[in-house]
A = this chain, B = another copy of it.
Amino acid sequence: MIKQYLLSPGPTPIPNEVELAMSETMIHHRTPQFNKVFEEARGGLKKLFGTKNDVIMFASSGTGAMEAAVANLFSPGDKVLVINGGKFGERWLNIANAYGLNPIDLKVEWGRAVKVAEVEKQLEAHPDIQGVLIQASETSTTVLHPVKEIASLTKGGPLFLVDGVTAVGVVPVPVDEWGIDVLVTGSQKALMLPPGLGFIALSDRAWDRTKKAKLPRFYFDLNLERKNQQKGSGAFTPAVSLIFGLRASLNMLEREGIEKVYARHARLCRATRAAATALGLKLLAPDSPSPAATGIFLPEGIDADKVLEYLRDRMNVTLAEGQDQLKGKVIRIAHVGYMGAFDVITAIAALEMALRKFGAEIPFGRGVAAAQEVLMEALP
């Protein structure tokens, strides 16, 4: 097994076209040459986010952009509602706490989407909530939350902050159309780039709110960045080669057609779910699956972490683990980014083989066949 297969939900595989763009000769970031690249990337991002406003870029991970959202929009003691259905829900909570906000922790069973009625109930019970913080796709539980529906609840009310790290470019999350106030993502997911860029888009009313927000910020100062980025670069040194790559990856998404990109992610997810079901394995997110990744319970008595280690170190196939309460029980197969039909086939064939090594009675090819049936849909 000589080749590496990266099927984790970030970092994700990098297309050659993007690698080549990132290998362009380094240029200075205060030049018309860089401004042009930056401007083109900004244009592509606006389309992808579905917003007329700026999408601000940071040399940071996606978490940096989440922090920017909190630091620029709130003041100490502000009450916020955090939809907490996994590790990334917890991250919103941790950021809110770190900045001295007053978060309400709305716990959601792992593997389930938040119920819109639950959110509504909280908003009614706490009319002083300043913001609702959520994941569009909760990567740790492979769940999609009902962002569009919740956006209709927050209209004219609290700000609605959406972590779209494994959603932007995977499922439609149109900022302006849905009335989202903040949408955040990172480079190492559907944008098919290495880690290192964080992105954030704000609604008009969110930009207004930044003027009143009293939390401290310096590197992540959105107004400072907006002013500079509109002039074609960043306030601080931008990650030049990643932005070369970003322009290339946005071009690739545009060329494929964003609707086809969404359909591809959905299809790979359905194929993987069909395969798991055909193998008699239980799905982590039975009802509201995120097309970014598929969480699968392994059979009782098999240590999922050992299987993942075997897949990674012996078979060169890197999948993702279950976290906290799911540790050792669950594996996650990612579909986000530069992924195609034969990545699913590889993941399922490899899983079948690894499970047999661990003593499960796995009929070879049964999962693959179920995936093939779904993947056929893409064929003309």
User: B345 to A3, Cβ gap below 8 A?
Assistant: no
Tell me, yes or no, whether A21 is within 8 Å of chain B by CB: no
> What DSSP secondary structure best describes chain A's contact surface?
helix
Interface flags, A318-352, vs B, CB<8A=1, else 0: 00000000000000000000111111011001101
A172: chain B residues within 8 A (beta carbon)? none
How far apart are A299's CB and chain B's nearest CB, in angstroms? 18
Residues of chain B within 8 A (CB-CB) of A357 are: 376, 379
Question: In the complex the two chains form, what is the Cα distance from A375 to B256 in whole Å?
Answer: 34
Q: Report whether B379 and A353 are in contact in the complex, using a CB–CB cutoff of 8 Å.
A: yes
Q: Does A206 interact with chain B (Cβ within 8 Å)?
A: no
Name the residue in A256, A315, A341, A378 with the highest tally of chain B Cβ atoms < 10 Å from its Cβ. A341
Q: Is the CB of B352 within 8 A of A372?
A: yes
Residues of B within 8 A of A99 (CB): none
Q: Does A30 contact B (CB under 8 A)?
A: no
For chain A, the count of residues having a C-beta within 8 Å of the partner chain is: 39
Q: Report B-chain residues with C-beta under 8 Å of the C-beta of A5.
A: 342
* Assembly CA distance A217 to B180 (angstroms): 74
Residues of B within 8 A of A338 (CB): 2-3
Contacts of A156 in B (CB 8 A): none
| Residues of chain A in range 300-331 having any CB-CB distance to chain B below 8 Å | 314-317
Which of A102-110, A157-165, A360-368 participates in binding chain B?
A: A360-368
Let me know if B373 and A364 touch, CB within 8 A.
yes
Q: Are B364 and A349 in contact (CB under 8 A)?
A: no
The verdict on A264 contacting chain B, using a C-beta distance below 8 Å, is yes
Bound Cα distance from A314 to B379, whole angstroms = 7
